[in-house]
Amino acid sequence: MKELSGHTLPFAVLGHPIGHTLSPVMHNASLRALGRDAIYLAFDVAPDQLLTVLPAMRAMGFGGVNLTVPLKEVAYAGFADLDESAQLVGAVNTVAFPEAGGMRGYNTDGYGFLTAMQEACGTSVDGQAVHVIGTGGAGRALALVCARAGARSLTCTDVDATRAERVATEIRTATPDCPVTTVDAADQVAATRAADIIIQSTPVGMRPEDPPLLGSEAFRSGQLVFDLIYMYPETALMKAARAAGAETANGLGMLLHQGARAYTIWTGDAPDTDAMRAALEKAVYGE
């Protein structure tokens, strides 16, 4: 791990305060558990300041930086050095400062999702039929990641049919071997039941009183339903899916593993994921 002589090594997350609340919680828990002389901080940085702030952070000796909304696309557009993970989804959420100089952009969300899914049910997307509900930022990114990871097929649905078709077109261009179709509301239940893996990436369910997007009739045994919402251990959609015999997971595992991957990119070392998970669960669920 890179060290600064006589000084604490800083890491940071930049972006909107709502988006960077939990990153310091999990990273600082890991740093304490590992006994590292390091600290992870959060800063609110405006999009038009990002490409000025990052070189200054490098000069100050920061070990690495995470980015949240609305900075991910700004970095992608402004960086000359982009890892394949960022190129695939068109966004940067992790910035490394290579010893040779400059800045390199990564996106760890795909890794976080795939690792969390493997952890939750011991399977991968390779050879699976995937249905993505909601094709905004996260849904779009995970649809592209699943296609690249070997999904047998993809179906996408969104209240904005034009957006769903735009994502489908991106997938056909980036991964032509993966068949992809869009689904309207009338065919949503049938498309969900036909899938092996369902990814719920809409905001529905962020409030405890939100009804599930789909009832139990849309699910079956043998499926994995992955709801990206992590504010509650089990969302209404997860309850409906579990009642039909499906396996379920929420988005906390993805949050954990995308952060763990960022730390490894910065340092070459593995973080203490047990400490990170415990800190996240306490912060989110009070456990």
282 is catalytic: no
Edge-to-edge order in the sheet of strand 94-96: 38-43, 9-14, 64-67, 94-96, 104-106
106 within 8 A of 127, measured Cβ to Cβ: no
- Write the burial class of residue 94 (CB in 10 Å: 0-12 exposed, 13-18 middle, 19+ buried): buried
Handedness of CA 164, 183, 192, 240 (dihedral sign): positive
Check 2, 72, 239, 282 and give the catalytic one: 72
Say how far residue 11 (Cα) sits from the centre of its chain: 19
Cα–Cα distance, 262 to 139 (Å, whole number): 20
Say how far residue 283 (Cα) sits from the centre of its chain: 18
Cα–Cα distance, 143 to 82 (Å, whole number): 20
Cα–Cα distance, 221 to 196 (Å, whole number): 10
Active site residues: 72
